[in-house]
Structure 1
């Protein structure tokens, strides 16, 4: 039952996202075919970057929806994932407690508990008791010939919000800007703010014209 840390990895980003967003934006105001604009090698990257920065500044963000980022995320709690999936203009594939047995589950400890030995000891004790209860439920189900998915989907009811989950998240650039505005904010809950800050750093590295 180890404590785990946040890990965010970029799986995929739209190839030549700069040219894609530029072509989509130009299509709104040009008689030319977007494919021609996209394929035009004479267009300088600096010109594309300038236009995209102006789009973001002006709030004309619909062209940004054509480019997307896909992240693999681990070391987050179910408490965080419940917040994350409220951002519905996105795609999510989350580790299922119906199919994945968690006989030795990982968990996240909030900093306010981590920094206090008394609170931390109590937290760890509770995690250990929950683990024992979960395992006892599975064992009892097994004695009653209830196994597999049916056993896990009912035993999971005792699992805590602190339990670690893993998830794949895909968001387009417009939704990412909205996500960062809300979740990088100081008012956001600490765990999802940490996630959002790491995701934003990755986005800025790959597409600074939009995210910087």
Structure 2
């Protein structure tokens, strides 16, 4: 898996704080950024997040390039609808000798790994034969969800917080959890105040929504808190 933060809104935290300032102050738009030093910015952001007033976070965005992941992951990713995606097309790009992702549980089981690789080889041969007699857009139907894919995704900060809440959770599948953890690590470097407490609900909100399926981490989080 490779994750790169391609671009993000310049001075993201200051932009959010300025937008919030408009909500709570009579000043005009031309003065929004006046006196917005680091201390003032952090004050506004802390107030916003503690109040749950998150709409100003929608004014900043983060764009990631993601590769070396499966289509299982990308199918989960697009459920986060307040984001924009551009993905490698199997309709136009040949999957001859396609690469695929091996889940850890299969990689660690010799018998499972042999079976898995054998079947991937069978599928690859079948795809190659199909692609000779029908269009790639039809041959691709035989390809597995394990196929390696790559895409670009753009989120606003509020949508990212929601994404981290669901996908940093230990109940999330291993691959998308790994992706979410890496994305969170990278955005914290450029917007540390906004994403300081981001993560699974037990970490960000001190609550677990998983009920009987909870991993149990909430007990340790509450105890430490």
- Judge same fold: TM > 0.5, yes or no: yes
Residues 147-166 of structure 1 deviation map (CA, whole Å, 9 limit, x = unaligned):
xxxx0110000000000110
Tell me, in whole angstroms, the C-alpha distance in 2 between the residues paired with 1:68 and 1:89. Answer: 11
User: Would you say 1:169 and 2:153 are equivalent positions?
Assistant: yes
Tell me, in whole angstroms, the C-alpha distance in 2 between the residues paired with 1:15 and 1:35. Answer: 18
User: Would you say 1:92 and 2:76 are equivalent positions?
Assistant: no
Q: Which moved more, 1:94-103 or 1:45-54?
A: 45-54
**1:58 counterpart (46, 51, 55):** 51
Asked if 1 retains the 8 angstrom alpha-carbon contact of 2:18 and 2:36, the reply is no
Asked if 2 retains the 8 angstrom alpha-carbon contact of 1:26 and 1:34, the reply is no
Unmatched 5+ stretches in structure 2:
197-225
Aligned residues: 196
**1:15 counterpart (3, 7, 10):** 10
TM superposition shift of 1:53: 2.1
TM superposition shift of 1:139: 1.6
Q: How does 1:17-36 map to 2 (within 5 A)?
A: 17-36=12-31
Unmatched 5+ stretches in structure 1:
1-5, 142-150
**RMSD of aligned alpha carbons:** 0.9
After superposition, the Cα gap between the structure-2 partners of 1:117 and 1:99, relative to the gap in structure 1 and judged at 3 Å, is: same
Asked if 2 retains the 8 angstrom alpha-carbon contact of 1:77 and 1:108, the reply is yes
TM superposition shift of 1:34: 2.9
Report what 1:210 is aligned to: 194
Asked if 2 retains the 8 angstrom alpha-carbon contact of 1:24 and 1:34, the reply is no
**1:183 counterpart (162, 167, 171):** 167
Q: Which runs of 4+ in 1 moved over 3 A?
A: none
TM superposition shift of 1:31: 1.4
Tell me, in whole angstroms, the C-alpha distance in 2 between the residues paired with 1:57 and 1:185. Answer: 21
Report what 1:148 is aligned to: none
Instruction: Normalising by structure 2, report the TM-score.
Output: 0.85
Tell me, in whole angstroms, the C-alpha distance in 2 between the residues paired with 1:57 and 1:193. Answer: 26
Q: How does 1:127-138 map to 2 (within 5 A)?
A: 127-138=120-131
Asked if 2 retains the 8 angstrom alpha-carbon contact of 1:200 and 1:211, the reply is yes
TM superposition shift of 1:30: 1.4
